[in-house]
Structure 1
Amino acid sequence: MIMMVMVVVEMVMVIVVIVVVVVMVLIMVLVMVMMAVMMVVNVMVMVVLIAMTVVVMVVMVVLIVVTVVVTLLVPVVGMIVVLVMVLIVVVVMLGIMVVMVVV
C-alpha cells in the first residue's frame, strides 16, 4: 500500500517537474521576445535581461537535476524541493517583469 502511494507520488512529481519546465520555457520565450522589443529601446537593459535570463536558466537546470535526484531518494523531500523551486522561479519571473515595467 505504502509502495503504491510512493509510486503515485513519484508520478505526480515527474508530471509537476515537466509542467514547470514547459512553463519555464514558455516564459523564457516570452522574455526573449520582450528583450527583442527592449533592444530597440535600450541595449543596456537587454544585456541585463539576458544576464538574468541566463542565470534563471542555469538555476532552473540545477534545481531540476537536484529535484530529480532528491525525488528518486526521498519523495516527500522531493515534493518540498519542487514547491520551493516553483516559488523561487515565480519570484524571479516577477522580478524580471517588474524590472521590465519599471524600465
Structure 2
Amino acid sequence: MNRLSGSDAGFIFFYIITLKYSFPGVVVVVVVVVVVVEVTIIVVVVVVIEVVILVIIVLAVVQLLLVVVVVVVVVVVVVVLVEKIVLVVVVAVEVVVAVVVVVVVVVVLVIAVVLVQVEVVVFVVVVVVVVVVVVVVVVVVVVIVIVVVIVIVVEVALVASVVVVFVVVIVEVVPQQ
C-alpha cells in the first residue's frame, strides 16, 4: 500500500475542505496553512540534515585543526619574537650611534676651544646639552629594551603553555577515542 507524501496529504486536506466549505476565505486560509506546514517541514528537515552534516564535519576537522592551530600559533609567535629581537638590535645600534655622536661633538668642541679659542662657557653648555640628550635617549632605550624582553618572556611562556596543552590533548585525549 502506498503511503501519502506530505504534498498528497496537503492536497487531499485542501480538496476536502473546499468541497465542504466552498467560500473563498476558507480556501485562502487552507492554502496558507498547507503552504506554511509544507515549508516548515522542508525547512526543519533541511536545517536538521545540514546541522548534522556540519557537526560531523566539525568533529572530523577539529583533530586536524588542533595541529594547524598549534603550528600557526608557534609560527606567529616566532615571527613576532624575531621582530622584537630585530627591534632590540636596532635600538642597540641607535645607542651606539648616539654615543659616537656625543664623542664626535665633544672632540670637535675640544678642538674648537683649543684652536679657535671659543669661550669655555659655550663649550660647557653644549657638552651639558649633548650629555643630557644622550642620557635621556639611553634611558628611553633601556626602558624599551626591558619592556621588549618582558613581552618576549610572556610570549615564550604562552607558546610553551599552548604546546603543553597540545601535547596533553594528543597524549591523553586522542588515544581514548
Q: TM-score range by the shorter chain?
A: 0.5 to 0.7
| Residue of structure 2 equivalent to 1:35 | 109
More relative contact order, 1 or 2 (CA 8 Å, 6+ apart): 1
Matched ranges for 1:89-100 at <5 A: none
Q: Is 2:84–2:148's contact at 8 Å kept on the other side of the alignment? A: yes
| Residue of structure 2 equivalent to 1:10 | 84
- Deviations along 1:45-84, one digit per CA (max 9) or x if unpaired, are 1011111122112202211111112223458xxxxxxxxx
Aligned partners of 1:62, 1:50: CA distance in 2, in Å? Answer: 18
Of structures 1 and 2, the larger Rg is shown by 2
| Residue of structure 2 equivalent to 1:46 | 123
Deviation at 1:19, TM superposition (A): 1.0
1:70 paired with 2:133, answer: no
Aligned partners of 1:43, 1:63: CA distance in 2, in Å? Answer: 30
**Quick one: which of 129, 134, 150 aligns to 1:57?**
134
Q: Is 1:17–1:64's contact at 8 Å kept on the other side of the alignment? A: yes
Deviation at 1:20, TM superposition (A): 0.5
The residue type paired with residue 107 of structure 2 is: V
Structure 1: where are the runs of 5+ without partners?
Answer: 76-103
The residue type paired with residue 31 of structure 1 is: V
The TM-score normalised by the length of structure 2 is: 0.39
Q: Report how many residues are paired.
A: 75
The residue type paired with residue 125 of structure 2 is: V
Aligned partners of 1:25, 1:58: CA distance in 2, in Å? Answer: 10
The residue type paired with residue 96 of structure 2 is: V
The residue type paired with residue 130 of structure 2 is: T
Structure 2: where are the runs of 5+ without partners?
Answer: 1-74, 153-177
Q: Is 1:38–1:45's contact at 8 Å kept on the other side of the alignment? A: no
3-state SS of paired residue (1:45): helix
| Residue of structure 1 equivalent to 2:63 | none
Aligned partners of 2:135, 2:91: CA distance in 1, in Å? Answer: 16
RMSD over aligned CA atoms reads: 1.7
The TM-score normalised by the length of structure 1 is: 0.63
